[in-house]
A and B are shown apart, each in its own frame.
Chain A
Amino acid sequence: MTTARRRPYGVKGAPYAFLLPATILFALFFALPIGYAVYLSFRKVHVSGLGLGSGARKEVWAGLENYTDAVTDNELLDGALRVLGYGCIVVPVMLGLALLFALMLDSDKVRFAPFTRLAIFLPYAIPGVVAALMWGFLYLPDVSPFYYLLQKLHMPQPNLLDGGPLYLAMANIAVWGGTGFNMIVIYTSLQSIPAEVYEAAKLDGATPLQIALKIKIPMVAPSLVLTFFFSIIATLQVFNEPMTLKPLTNSLPLTWSPLMNVYADAFRKGDIYQAASEAVIIALATLVLSFGFLRAANRRQKQEATR
C-alpha cells in the first residue's frame, strides 16, 4: 500500500529533482544578476555638498531617468547605427563565404578536404583580442608588411583606420575569425543529407550546380537560419575588435559600439546605474531583433511546408 502510494509521487517528483540543479544555477548566476542589473538601472547616486567624507554619497531611486538619458543620448543610437553598418558588411560576407566553402568541401572534386577544413576553421580558434591586435598591426601603415609592398609597387595606400575603410577593416577581422565556425555548422548539416537524394537528382539529370542550388541549399536552410541568428547576436555585441583597435587610431571613439558605450559608462565614468539601463535596452533590442528574425524564418518554413 505504502509503496503503491509512493511510486507515483516519486515519478512525479523526479523531473523536478532533475531540473533542480539547473534551476538553482540559472537562478543564481543568470536570473539574479539580471534582476540586480534591472534594479540598478532604476537607481542613481546622489551626492550632498562637496561630496567629500563619509555619508556624502547615497544611492537613491531614479525612476526612468537613466532610461530617458540613455534614449536621448545620441551616442548610443549612433553606436547602434555604426554597428548596423558593420553588420551589413559582416553577416552577408561571412555567411556567403561559409556557405560557399561548405558546398565546395562537400563536393566530390575537392582534394585535401580535412586539411582545408581545418585551415578555414583555424582562425576561429584564435581569441578575438589576439586576432584584432594582429590585424591592427597589419593595418598600421608604418609597421605593416602589406603597406611596405604597396609602397614598393607604387600602388595607392588606403588608410584603413579611418572613415569608410575602417568598417571594412573591422568587418575583415570578424569575417576572418567567424567564417570557419559557420562553415562547420553548414558543412555538418550538408553531410547529414541522405545520399539517395543526390542519386535521384543525378538520375533526373541535374548538374552539380543545380544540385547545390536546388537541393543542398534548401535542405540546409535551417542551419543557415541558425548561423544567421548567431551572427546577428555576435554583431550586436561587437566589443573586442573595436576596443583593441581603439588605441591605434583617433577615428574610433570609446562609444563606437553600444557595448563599448556600456563599458565606458560603467568602468571609465564609474556610473554603473546608467550603464545598467543601457545594458537592459541593448538586451531587449537583441531579444526583439533575434526573436523577430526567428519567427519570420519559422513562418516562412511553415508556409513552404503547407505549399
Chain B
Amino acid sequence: MPNTKRTRLVASTIAVALGATALTACGSSDSDSKTESGPVSLTYWTWTPGMDKVVDLWNKGPGKKAQITVTVKKQASGDSLVTKILTAHKAKKAPDLVQAEYQALPTLVSNDALADISKDLGDTKSKFADGVWQQTTLGTDAVYAVPQDIGPMMFYYRQDLFKKYGLSVPTTWEQFAETARALKKKAPDKDLTTFSANDSGLFAGLAQQAGAKWWTTSGDKWKVGINDAATKKVADFWGGLVKEGAVDNQPMYTPAWNKAIDTGKQIAWVSAVWAPGTLTTAAPQTKGKWAMAPLPQWSAGDNVTGSWGGSSTAVTTDSAHTAAAAKFAAWLNTDGGALQALAKDSGIYPAATNAQTSGAFAQPPAYFSNQSDFYTEAAAIAKTTAPSAWGPNVNVAYTTFNDAFGTAAKNKSDFTAALNTMQDATVADLKKQGFEVSE
C-alpha cells in the first residue's frame, strides 16, 4: 500500500512538472510571436465618467472580433490612483490597463509599473502632436502610454463685465496685470481672478508656458530646475499681483470661489480647455456670459500655452497580455468612433489631433453657446502647447507647492522664497531616494 501511494505521488509530481513545462513553453512562444490566441479579458482602471459606454463599443465591435474583452473598474482620479496602482503593483496584481496623468508617468515608470508598448502600437504616434507624444516616452526609445486627453491652457473672462468696466482682453501678462489694476480702481470689491495655491497643476502649466523645464536628465543624472529663471518670472509676477492686492489670494474650488465666479466678484479665470465643464457646475447662473481667449503671452507676438491636466492610457508590467492591452489602448485613443463617444459620453478633449476638429467638436460647449468657434480656436491653441518636462517625484514638488505657496499667498510674502522651498524639497527627496542629482 505505501508503495502505491508513493508511486502515485511521484507520478503526479511528474505530471505537474510536465504541465508546468508545457505552460512555460506556451507562455514563451506567446511572447515571441506577440500574437494572442484564445479569448483574453483585461481589466481597466479609469476615472473618466462614461468610460463603460465607450468600452462597450469595443467589446461589441473590434474587441469581439479579436476576442479581447475589457472590463472597466471605476477609480478615484489623480494622485490617489497612482498610489493605488503602485500598491497593487507591489503585490503583482495591478490591472492590465490604467489611466494616468502625464506628470505621473515618470513616477509609475520608475516603479517599474508600466510596460514598454512601443512594439505594439504601429503608426499610433502619427496621430498625436509631438509635444504630447513626447510625454509618454520620457525622452527614451520606449513608449509607456497612449495619450488620451490634453488640457491646453486658455484665458476665460466675463464678456459682459469686461465691457461694463471698459476692460480689453489681455494678450500679454503685462496687460493682464494692468487689467487687474484697472478693475481694482473701478470696482475695489471685485477681483480679476485669484492666485490659488491648492492646484499645483495650474502653476506648473503657467511655468511651462514661460519655458520652464522642471526635470531634465543628463547622462545618469537628474537636474531639477523648479527655481529656474522662467519659473521665477512666473512666481514673481503672481507674487507681485497678490502683494499689491490686484488679484485675490484665496483658493479656488471652494464654495466661496464658486459664488465669486457665479456672481461676478471674480471676472476671469486662467484655466484649460475643460473649463466649460467646471463652470457649468460652479457658475450655472452666468452661462453664456463667459468667453474664451488664448492665454496672455510673456512677450507680444509670442504664441505659446501651457497645459493643465490631461491623461493617458498605459499598460502595466503585471499584465499577461501586453499586446492585446496595447491594441485596446491604441483603439480607444485613435479610433474615430471611440473618440466621438469619449467626447460625447465622457466630455474629454482628445489628444489625437484629427479628433479635435471632428464632428463632436463642430458645436461649442453648451455653456459657451455664445462663442461658436470655441473648439476651432481650442484646436489652434492646442497646437501651441509648450513641451513639458516631468520627473520621478512630481508628487513631492506638488505637495510642497501647496504648503509653501499657500503660506506665501496668505502672508502676501515673497513667492521666490516659496519657489526655493519647492526646489530644495524636490532635490532633497530625489537624493534621499538615491537618484543622482546634478546641481
Contacts and interface: CB of A to CB of B under 8 A. Distances in A.
Interface of A: 44-57, 69, 137, 140-143, 162, 247-255, 264, 267-271
A262 B409 CA distance: 25
Interface stretch (B108-116, B155-163, B278-286, B367-375): B108-116
A250 B432 contact: no
Contacts of A271: 429
16 contacts: A50-B435, A52-B106, A53-B112, A56-B110, A141-B256, A247-B253, A249-B250, A250-B197, A252-B406, A253-B406, A253-B407, A254-B403, A264-B399, A267-B79, A267-B80, A268-B398
Given A140-B254, A142-B259, A250-B410, A57 B403 contact: no
B217 A47 contact: no
Interface string B404-439: 001101100000000000000000010011111000
Contacts of B107: 270
B315 to A, nearest CB: 14
Contacts of B392: 47, 51-52
A267 B83 contact: yes
Contacts, number: 106
Contacts of A255: 403
Nearest to B86: A270
A137 B255 contact: yes
Nearest to B138: A52
Contacts of A251: 406, 410
Interface centre among A52, A143, A250, A253 (most CB of B within 10 A): A250
Contacts of B221: 50
A270 B83 contact: yes
A144 to B, nearest CB: 9
Nearest to A256: B403
Contacts of A248: 251, 254-256
Contacts of A142: 255-256, 259-260, 265
Given A49-B220, A51-B392, A51-B435, A269 B429 contact: yes
A268 B403 CA distance: 13
Given A142-B255, A270-B86, A52 B434 contact: no
B402 interface: yes
Given A47-B433, A250-B406, A270-B395, A54 B249 contact: no
* Shortest 10 CB-CB contacts between residues of A and residues of B: A250-B410, A142-B256, A250-B406, A46-B434, A51-B110, A47-B434, A253-B403, A268-B399, A140-B256, A54-B112
Contacts of B198: 247
Given A254-B402, A255-B403, A249 B432 contact: no
Contacts of A52: 106, 109-110, 138, 140, 392
Interface in B55-93: 79-80, 82-83, 86
B274 interface: no
B333 to A, nearest CB: 23
A193 to B, nearest CB: 48
Nearest to B110: A51
Query: Does more than half of chain A's interface fall in helix, strand or loop, or is it mixed?
Result: loop
A52 B111 CA distance: 8
Contacts of A267: 79-80, 83
B436 A49 contact: yes
B214 interface: no
A143 B406 contact: no
B433 A45 contact: yes
Given A47-B435, A52-B109, A250 B220 contact: no
Contacts of B82: 270
Contacts of B253: 247
B399 A269 contact: yes
Nearest to A264: B399
A110 B98 CA distance: 61
Contact of B433 (A46, A137, A250): A46
A39 to B, nearest CB: 14
B262 to A, nearest CB: 10
A141 B260 CA distance: 11
A14 to B, nearest CB: 38
Contacts of A143: 255-256, 259
A50 B222 contact: yes
A108 B82 CA distance: 59
A47 B110 contact: yes
A51 B112 CA distance: 9
A3 B36 CA distance: 67
Interface string B214-234: 000100111000000000000
Interface in B203-251: 217, 220-222, 249-251
A253 B434 CA distance: 27
Given A50-B217, A268-B79, A269-B396, A57 B410 contact: no
B317 interface: yes
A73 B222 CA distance: 25
B220 A247 contact: no
Given A57-B110, A162-B410, A247-B253, A45 B140 contact: no
Nearest to B428: A69
B322 to A, nearest CB: 13
A140 B255 contact: yes
A269 B432 CA distance: 12
Contacts of B80: 267
Nearest to A265: B399
A269 B82 CA distance: 11
A270 B395 CA distance: 8
A250 B250 contact: yes
Nearest to B217: A50
Given A47-B392, A52-B138, A54-B112, 8 more contacts: A44-B432, A46-B433, A50-B220, A140-B254, A162-B410, A267-B80, A269-B393, A270-B86
A268 B222 contact: no
A44 B173 CA distance: 44
A55 B109 CA distance: 11
A43 to B, nearest CB: 12
A62 B328 CA distance: 42
A53 B86 contact: no
Contacts of B260: 142
A241 to B, nearest CB: 16
B88 to A, nearest CB: 14
Contacts of B395: 268-270
Interface centre among A47, A57, A254, A264 (most CB of B within 10 A): A47
A57 B111 contact: yes
